[in-house]
Chain A
């Protein structure tokens, strides 16, 4: 009890301290964070509209976001945007939700695309249709890549604009392939991936380390010609033969030791490490990792190529990443400011910038066709793959229950892979039964 009270009073005094800070007592501490706050406070006094923008992820992604925010603030004198880091997408979503309930939501936030549905339907998001109509000449909505707009609309209403968008791609260690006498152009199909992995296994390596990840699974289902959910979103479709095929493929390859499938929380990190340490020749990963992976390849002295994810009956990938959305409870003035900011962040120039800096997709057709990116692709073909692959891209499911369904699917796949007695079909059937209960509500 005493402990709790002390912690509480500590929290209080900290609250008071921060409150002082943001009221503009303006002590320059050299710390970037308080610096940003002080700036905000100054601008408040000169009648600028101050809005908050919450974003996810650090490193290169954060660098790019903060750079664009800074440029925006310097480009005009009416709006001041204060950018605040909130962890990964899940942390961000939880915090936006809590802040919204408390009436203190940021005016603009990143939003992972599959969550657009649940956020929009619960009234947290401002519909952008009218804004887009008003500024249609400047915005050029049709300039955005059509493959990226699927998650921007909920029930035919526009709620977000594509910002840092991605697809999963195949990263290849070409040096390893050449050493093993394999054609560095492949593997283009699942069968080829299996053959390549057999050869690599003989060399004491594995073809690939794959975490059990819902996004990659969505990709393999697409490659098999299947769907995650039925057309109306009321029932599961992942227990069809097209949904079972990826799990059987994974189970077969991992039980023969051709690929490795770690299942823990660190699985994603393990896959990246295996690839970086040249234990595996391939990894699946978001386009957001191109710049970072190129640096790793260069540092570890191997050649990196990117490619489409291998096809089963066809190529296919889900899109991913985040869009920018506006929350619904801000004042009209803040909403206008938020709209200006969203337009700026999704402009042709900025989508080119973030693509080159991080590796996320250039979201606009005009950006892809620009001289700047044409020259960039020529020099760095690794960046172009994801853009080309967009032809085969599809949106992610946006049903309210999908986050929970995704967890169920992940557990079913883990079970099928870990337990030799559970067949992929049985595991997914059980998962589908649970999912149907949630989806039919």
Chain B
């Protein structure tokens, strides 16, 4: 082996490694480093405070509310998206122009920018001039406050996220359903299995890798929700829609407390890291029927 042959693979991966280290690894370590300081990003003096930022964070009632908002948002978004997408996939998993059209229609929100979607829904949900309240009014019900009241603001954001994520999830479920060999279905119908039994004992286990993939991806995605909040509510009213990433942004770029924001970033990193590890662990164990 010549020197070149030995070095070649390293040369080939170098660009990827350099970019990865520079834009992913370095920022993570720098963030962990910054979380130990009291700093405003521009002043020449960084004051070392140890774990004080973490103590402050955990003592802060607003931060606890942010964590609970994020969790509620995640649980609702993931459950609703997954269940509705699965039902839609079961319904749409057949071939005809009509079903193709419906599939296409529910997929479109996925390709629209989240910023446009946020603006659009802000308009639909406007308590005075919005289309939704107009329809509710016509139907004779009391108007909802949507994003303008703490009791409905978070669920309104969940609605938008579900609407946006539904198409992609349905599509992946349909792909999963189609990868199930048809002979298993035939065997089940020969055995006169009831539809519910076919679903729970056959489809669901066969679909479990897909299901699991979607749940994890949606969970990680929900933990990182930012655009809709930045555009539609800015965390309000009364902190009711403030979530982890928006909280980090607010402290980092509006209140100039980089250390405190980095500490919150570390907590986000830990949560998302745990979720990702669970995912890979389960993936290596091959979630499947046994």
Contact = CB atoms under 8 A, between A and B. Distances in A.
Contact of B148 (A93, A263, A404, A410): A263
B233 A90 contact: no
B128 A403 contact: no
The B interface is mostly helix, strand or loop, or mixed, namely: loop
A133 B127 CA distance: 54
Interface residues of A, number: 32
Given A8-B23, A403-B255, A414 B238 contact: yes
Interface string B3-21: 0000000000000100100
Contacts of A180: none
Interface size class on chain B is: 20 to 34
Contact of A122 (B43, B145, B237): B43
A264 B153 contact: yes
B237 A414 contact: yes
A5 B17 CA distance: 12
Contacts of B40: 118, 122
B256 A97 contact: yes
A264 B233 contact: yes
Interface in B101-157: 122, 126-129, 145-150, 153
A273 interface: yes
B48 interface: no
Interface in A260-286: 262-267, 270, 273-274
Contact of B234 (A122, A265, A404): A265
B253 A97 contact: yes
A267 B255 CA distance: 22
B263 interface: no
Contacts of A404: 255
B277 interface: no
A377 interface: no
A131 interface: no
A410 B250 CA distance: 15
A273 B128 contact: yes
Task: Determine which residue in A124, A264, A267, A418 has the highest number of CB atoms from chain B within 10 A of its CB, and name it.
Answer: A264
Given A94-B253, A101-B42, A267-B148, 17 more contacts: A8-B23, A94-B254, A97-B42, A98-B41, A123-B42, A264-B127, A264-B145, A264-B146, A264-B153, A265-B122, A265-B147, A266-B126, A270-B129, A400-B256, A401-B255, A411-B238, A415-B238
Interface of B: 16, 19, 23, 40-44, 122, 126-129, 145-150, 153, 231-234, 236-239, 250, 253-256
